[in-house]
Structure formats: structure tokens, C-alpha cells
């Protein structure tokens, strides 16, 4: 049996998000969205991501925002393709598997896959895929 924890607190959410974005910023397929396409304010973005995933996985209600709108605006600046979403999902799942295991970790993978599908679908429906 492994000694990896499940995702049960904001501290574990921070580990997940920080580890994930470290991978993203080293990834040749999607890092340009965070470096070239959008001038990300990391001091604001990271706490927002902590809130989003804490709300999504731990029902904390700490997140208020509109991720769909943000991604549609991003797609207007630079088209996001299935390749980009697949890479995002692969990095996210890899990050979970490297750091966590358990029911909530598995739920995080399912939620991430669902989020990727929904955002791709909305981009396609917007007529700007």
C-alpha cells in the first residue's frame, strides 16, 4: 500500500495546484497560454485556483468566478484545440497520481476530465473553435 495522502485540505489543494502549474510552465504544448497569450498575474491566479479546486473537491464555497467566460476570452486570443485540452488533462492527472491517492484524488481526475469536455464543448458551440 502506498503512503500517498488523499486530497482532504486546502494544503493538499495547494500542493496539487502548485505542482500542476510547475508542470504547465515547463510544457511546450500549453505553457505559451500562460506566458505569451495572457500576462498572468500569478499572485492573483494561484489563490483563485486554490479556491476553485477547494470548492470543486471539498465543497468549501471559497470560489466565486466564471471559468467559462475566462476560457472563452482566452480562446478568442489564441485558439485552444483538443491537443491543448488533452495535454492539460494529462498533466493534471499525472500531478494527482504523483502526489495523491484515494477517493477525492480519483474524483479530482473525473472532475478535471468533465471540465475539459465542457469547456471544449462551449468553445465549439461559440462558433470559434
Q: CATH number for the 10-125 domain, one of 1.10.490.10, 3.40.640.10, 2.30.30.100, 3.40.1280.10?
A: 1.10.490.10
pTM value? 0.91
Higher pLDDT, 64 or 113: 113
pLDDT at 129 over 60: no
pLDDT value, residue 17: 98
d(CA 33, CA 24): 10
| Residues above pLDDT 70, as percent of the chain | 97
- In this structure, the dihedral spanned by the alpha carbons of residues 98, 101, 106 and 108, taken in order and rounded to 10 degrees, is -60
What are the pLDDT digits (tens) for 22-51?
999 999 999 999 999 988 899 999 999 999
Amino acid at each position: 500500500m502506498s503512503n500517498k495522502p488523499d486530497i482532504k485540505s486546502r494544503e493538499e489543494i495547494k500542493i496539487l495546484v502548485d505542482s500542476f502549474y510547475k508542470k504547465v510552465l515547463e510544457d511546450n504544448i500549453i505553457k505559451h497560454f500562460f506566458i505569451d497569450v495572457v500576462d498572468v498575474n500569478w499572485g492573483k491566479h494561484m489563490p483563485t485556483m486554490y479556491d476553485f479546486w477547494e470548492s470543486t473537491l471539498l465543497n468549501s464555497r471559497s470560489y466565486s468566478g466564471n471559468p467559462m467566460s475566462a476560457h472563452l476570452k482566452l480562446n478568442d486570443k489564441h485558439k485552444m484545440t483538443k491537443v491543448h485540452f488533452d495535454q492539460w488533462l494529462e498533466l493534471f492527472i499525472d500531478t494527482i497520481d504523483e502526489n495523491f491517492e484515494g477517493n477525492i484524488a480519483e474524483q479530482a481526475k473525473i472532475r478535471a476530465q468533465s471540465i475539459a469536455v465542457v469547456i471544449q464543448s462551449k468553445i465549439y458551440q461559440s462558433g470559434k473553435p
